Each structure stands twice: as structure tokens, then as C-alpha cells.
A and B are shown apart, each in its own frame.
Chain A
Amino acid sequence: MKRLMLVTAALLGMVSGTFGWNGTVVTDVTPTVAPVTAGPSQVEQMSARSTIQGILGESATLSQDLTLSGTGWMLLDSLPSNNPTQFPGGRLDFSSRLLQLEAKWQIIPGALILDLGKQIIHPSSGFFKTPLNLLSRGPAGNTPQQTPAASPQWEEGWWGVKIVGFVGDWTLEDFLAPPLTWSDSADAALQYVSVQQGDLDNQVRVDWHLGAADIQLLSLISVTDPGTSSASVHDQSGMGIDTNLGDHLTLRGEVTLADSLNRLNVVDPNTQATANQSLSWVPRALLGATWSINNDVSLVAEYYYNGLGFMGDEYTSALQYAKNRIATGSLSPDVAGQFGNFSLARNYVFLRLTDNFTDQISGQGWTEVNLQDASGMYGLGLSATYDKWGLSGSLAGTWGADGTEGHVLPFMWQVDIEMQFYF
């Protein structure tokens, strides 16, 4: 494993040096303590995981109005192991993706742009949650990222065509992503390049710069199983706004509404029976603020409403299901993780305090709180950067009484030691 790490870093460095590309190699070692079932009782067990991520990108201007850019990403993952000093060969997982590969042509410079290829679509301004990302795949790879918006969260883009027009203070954009699917045998190779796109998606985005504020409106039409008799059309719409209030405060708000969304519902927590459930008119929203206390210290506060989350008896049932799943060591579907980590309920808040102690060293403390049962997660992190190198350490933990979401999270505490090399 160590040899592989060195070879990978050397190869990336060599390639970048030869072609003038730039990128980052990030290595994480993550000891984790989680509740596991041992016979009739539940015990705390420590495991460790090591990952190496590499990202390599380049942008080239072919002419005054035509640019090409591409970004590749790869991950070597030891997967959780009980012995942090060993990396069993069979457990080493490799994955890679082409995150982005696009050609941008300014048909009318500064007025009309055609963007063709694989593009990262991320309109949301949220740190903690991103409801306005109607087309979303989340971070590339299932890498340990318990600290929101701290570690690199590289995203995979969508293949498609985008047309952007600028008119006065308005920006109008249409992005069309066709379905792209292939056979399982082809996927054996293509999975290292791209995930498949099952739906036909068309997203219209309108941005309006009004005074000090930026307003955006989005509408996503998705056709599921296009060209078949079971094809169905779904719509999601959203609105976002952000602005400054004086020098110290930036505010942001996002709200989206989906005509229907599916979730995994608990039928019986004791037998671990689940069923897919379609919900109509699902709202999601985020309200946030960043307060720059001074040049070095800032506080982020965000509230998230997850309309797809559970409430009342359904919430109690979902928690019981998650608890039973841990207690029995069951491999039944993970209801608690279906909307991402720590988002089973409807109402959450997130707070993060960051301090740049020096030009090279920064620290942060953060917490996420489930307002429905007052359970939560917390974390502390310290980062140092020097020239091409970075070193980060973080500790994340959970709290919550029995019968709360904090009690059924897949870890109790986790340490992450991360080293970055930039080239």
C-alpha cells in the first residue's frame, strides 16, 4: 500500500510536471469507533481506513473564444479494517472518474456561450446542505468527510449541453443532460470514467443581480425511463438569494419544491421491513449566514428543512429500525443514511466557527444539531499549509440519548489525519 501511494504520487507529479497540469493528492487515515454487535451484546469497536485521492486538471485556451478543460479524479481506499497498520490486498478498492471535461465556446463574446461536455452543476450556496442542487450526485467517492465543507469534496459532473446568455443584469442558462446508459459488461470499464445517467434532464436557470443581491430561479424537468411506456415526467423548482448586509454579514436562503420524490419508508421496524414511498410536493429549504467577526474569525450558521425527512410516529419508527439494524448487525437497507449522513429528520441547524491563527494555520469547531430530538454531531479541526504541503487533523463525534438520531449514527467518534500535496 505504501509503495502504491508513493508510485501514485510520483506518477501524478511526473505527469503534471511534463504537461504543466495541476492537481492535488490527499491522503487520509481515519480511525473510527462504532457500535457493533458481538453475540448478544453491543460493543464499541475500532476500525481504521486509509484513502488516497488524487485530482488532476488542465485548462487550455485554443483561441480567444474557445477553451477546453478537464479534471480527473481517482481514489484508493483500504476500506475499514480492524488493523490500521495493515491493508489486506483484497480490501483495497480503486475507483476513478472523469469529473469534468468540457469545451466552452463564446459564440458572441460576453453574450452567448455554448458549453459542451461533462460539467459540474452546483448552484447551491449552502455549506451544510445544498437543497438548490436539484441535479446532485454528492461528493465523488464514499470518502470519510465528517467535517462539512472542510475536506475536498470533489463532485462528478453531468454529460450535456449548456447554453448561457447574458442580458443586462440577467444570466439565462439552459442545461440539457441526455440519458447515457450502457451494458453491465461495458460498465466494468466505463465505471472508472463515468457513472450512468438514467434520466433525461433539462435544467433552466435564471440569475438576476439586483442591487447587492443575487437571485436565482431554477426549474428541473426530469424524464424517467425516456422512450419507454413507463416514462414519467417530474419537476423540481427552486429559488435562491444571497446578499451582503454591511461588511461583516453575508446572508443566503434557498427553497425548492419537488412535485414528487421517493424515499425508503419503514413498514415494520422489528422485522426490518421497508417499502418505497412516493411523496408529493416535497419542500426543502436552507437559511444561512456568515458573520465575519474580523479578518480572521468567522461564524457560519445554517438552518435546514428537509421535507423528505421523517416526523412523529414515522420518525420514531425509523429510529427504532436503525437501532435494530445496528443491534442485529443486519444488512437491510439503510433508511437513516438515505438522504446523506445525519438527515433523517426534518429540522437541523449547523454552526461553524473558523479562525485563521496565522497565514498558514487555521482551526475550526462545528456542530450539527437535530432539532427534533436534540441529538447531534460535533467536530474540531486544525489545518496547516506550507508551500505545496498541507496537514490537517480533525475529530468528529456524536451525542444523543437512546432513541435519538445521534445514537444510531454509524460511528461514535472518528479521527481524521489528512495530508495534502499540491502541484
Chain B
Amino acid sequence: MKRSLLVSFLLFTFGLTLASAASPSDLLAESDARRTIADLNFSVQATAYVGTQVSDQSLLWGVLKLGKDHNRVLMSFQAPASKHGQKFLVDGDAVYVLFEHTSNPIRVSPLEVLTGQASDGDVIRTFAADYNVVSMEQGTFEDKPALHFSLTAREGGNTSSYKTVQLWIDPDSLRLVYAEFYAASGILLKKAYYRDYQAILGKDVPATIDIFAGDDAQKHTKMVFLKFGRKVLPDTMFRRTALNLWTPEEPR
């Protein structure tokens, strides 16, 4: 008991020290770094709900490549059968889709929906490279201490699908807890809860992301990461012209 109290005290102290010593931008970058796995190979199940009814379910395999200015993600539908074989490349603001039995990836809007409320960019998202910190305040979220960040998309940034983001981060662990994504018009587009953190490959990763529609609390999409692994692919595989060369693999 004493030991756990000591650990809690140290963690709390360390968290506060970290939160007070580092700049808001550094904290945001550190939060990204703590949960982002280089060369991550993942499988994720995305289930869309209307109320409690399942309206759609998909299984995707993907690979992440970390970049200096933005990350790139390859994804492929494994289910349902009607989408099987569709491949995606998310390269900053550019999203490409390659349909099965075709050879030319089509450029689509980053707003294109993967399933339910989840867009391509929601599967793996980082903030520090794409957003400026307007403010950071010590606050609470669901009655727990939280750092509340107000972010705005960088000028000329690579991923600016959302003009502003309100972000709540645990001050101790720097875990992402909750985010609200807004359009340039100020409309709330979606809300995301980051849950079920697990220690994966040396990182602290949210295994469940629950995304709610901004205008309808009944509609939400739960993304659950089923498997994690590493897959090192050459940089050149994360480009449009190589999308038909990529063979998706389930993480081992």
C-alpha cells in the first residue's frame, strides 16, 4: 500500500513537474511520441453504431510510417467482402484509394469516410506536427485532472482536415483522453474518446478509439485495435505509384 502510494506520488509529482517545465508544444509532441509506434503494423476493427444498433463493421490491416513533417499510413479492407481488397494511402492531406482489380489509385478528399464516423486519418493521428498550440490550461475531464489544449491547424500544414481541435490530455501520463474536432465554420464535426491504453512495443497506446458524430450523439464508431506488430517497409512504398505493389499482412 505504502509502495503504491509512493509510486502514485512520484508519478503525480513527475507529471506535474513535466507539465510545468515543458512548453505546451513540447508536451503535445511528447504525448504524440509516447503513443506512436514507428513502423507499426496493425489490424483494427471499426464498428459503426446508431444508438446500440450496429450499422456497419469493417476489418482493416495497416502499416504506419513516421515522417518528419507528417506520418503516412497504408490500409486495406479485409472485411466486409464488398470492400475486400480496397487499399488506402493516407499521405498528409492526400488520400488515395485503390479499388480491387484496378490499377490506378484515385485521389479522394481527406473527408472521405472510412466507415461510420471514422475517416482515414482517425486511425492513427498525431497533433504536434500539424497544429499550433493556441492555449493550454490545467483543467478537468470527467472529474479527473487534465491538460486542456486549444489547437489550430498550421498554415500550409500537411494534415488540416480540422481547423481547430480541443484536446484533453492526462497530465501525468500524457495520454490522450478526449478530443473535439471543428470545421473552419466552427461546427463541431466529431468527438473522440481514447481508451483502453495498453503497453505495446514500448509505447502507451490507446487500443480503443470511440468517435462520435458532432451533430448526433446516437452515431458513433468504435475502433478497436486487435493486433500490433512491426513491419518495416521502404519509404517508397508509401506513395501513390506503389500502392498496387503493397501486399497487406496481418500483424504477427
A residues with CB within 8 A of B: 22, 55, 57, 59, 61, 67, 71, 99-100, 104, 106, 109-111, 113, 119-125, 152, 154-155, 164, 166, 171, 173, 207, 209, 212, 214, 242-244, 247-250, 252, 290, 292, 294-296, 298, 356, 358-360, 385, 387-388, 390, 420, 422-423
User: B236 near A166 (CB under 8 angstroms)?
Assistant: yes
Q: Which chain A residue shows the least CB distance to B113?
A: A295
Q: Kindly specify which of B32-40, B97-105, B197-205 makes contact with the partner chain.
A: B97-105
Residues B88-145 near A (CB distance < 8 A): 92-94, 100-104, 106-113, 115-116, 119
B residues with CB within 8 A of A: 48, 55-56, 80-82, 84-85, 92-94, 100-104, 106-113, 115-116, 119, 160-161, 233-237, 239-242, 245, 247
Q: Give min CB distance, B219 to chain A, whole Å.
A: 10
Known: A110-B234, A164-B245. 15 other contacts (CB 8 A): A113-B245, A121-B103, A125-B107, A154-B101, A164-B241, A166-B239, A171-B241, A209-B239, A247-B110, A247-B111, A250-B109, A295-B119, A358-B55, A359-B55, A388-B80
CB contact between A252 and one of B93, B107, B247 (< 8 Å): that residue: B107
20 residue pairs from A and B, CB less than 8 Å apart? A110-B233, A110-B234, A123-B104, A125-B106, A125-B107, A154-B101, A155-B102, A164-B241, A212-B93, A212-B94, A244-B109, A292-B111, A295-B112, A295-B119, A296-B113, A359-B115, A387-B80, A387-B81, A388-B81, A422-B81
CB contact between A57 and one of B100, B103, B106 (< 8 Å): that residue: B100
Cα separation A398 to B236 with both chains bound (whole Å): 46
Residues of A contacting B116 with CB < 8 Å?
359
Cα separation A125 to B94 with both chains bound (whole Å): 15
CB contact between A100 and one of B48, B81, B101, B240 (< 8 Å): that residue: B101
Given known pairs A250-B109, A356-B113, the reply for A55 and B160 (CB within 8 Å) is no
Given known pairs A387-B80, A422-B80, the reply for A292 and B237 (CB within 8 Å) is no
CB contact between A124 and one of B81, B94, B104, B161 (< 8 Å): that residue: B104
User: A242 near B80 (CB under 8 angstroms)?
Assistant: no
User: B111 near A422 (CB under 8 angstroms)?
Assistant: no
- Which applies to chain A's interface (DSSP): helix, strand, loop or mixed? strand
CB contact between B84 and one of A22, A61, A120, A296 (< 8 Å): that residue: A22
Residues of B contacting A110 with CB < 8 Å?
233-237, 242
Cα separation A130 to B101 with both chains bound (whole Å): 17
Residues of A contacting B245 with CB < 8 Å?
104, 106, 113, 164
Given known pairs A171-B239, A207-B240, A296-B113, the reply for A247 and B161 (CB within 8 Å) is yes
Q: Give min CB distance, B232 to chain A, whole Å.
A: 10
User: B82 near A388 (CB under 8 angstroms)?
Assistant: yes
User: A385 near B111 (CB under 8 angstroms)?
Assistant: no
Q: Which chain B residue shows the least CB distance to A123?
A: B104
Cα separation A74 to B171 with both chains bound (whole Å): 60
User: A248 near B109 (CB under 8 angstroms)?
Assistant: yes
Given known pairs A295-B119, A422-B80, the reply for A359 and B107 (CB within 8 Å) is no
Residues of B contacting A122 with CB < 8 Å?
102-104
User: B55 near A360 (CB under 8 angstroms)?
Assistant: yes
Q: Which chain B residue shows the least CB distance to A71?
A: B101
Residues of A contacting B115 with CB < 8 Å?
359
Cα separation A125 to B102 with both chains bound (whole Å): 12
Cα separation A225 to B185 with both chains bound (whole Å): 61
Cα separation A201 to B85 with both chains bound (whole Å): 30
User: B234 near A22 (CB under 8 angstroms)?
Assistant: no
CB contact between A422 and one of B84, B161, B240, B242 (< 8 Å): that residue: B84
Cα separation A86 to B95 with both chains bound (whole Å): 47
CB contact between B111 and one of A22, A119, A294 (< 8 Å): that residue: A294
User: A244 near B110 (CB under 8 angstroms)?
Assistant: yes
Residues of B contacting A104 with CB < 8 Å?
245
CB contact between A247 and one of B56, B160, B235, B237 (< 8 Å): that residue: B160
User: A214 near B107 (CB under 8 angstroms)?
Assistant: yes
Cα separation A111 to B239 with both chains bound (whole Å): 12
CB contact between A360 and one of B56, B108, B160 (< 8 Å): that residue: B56
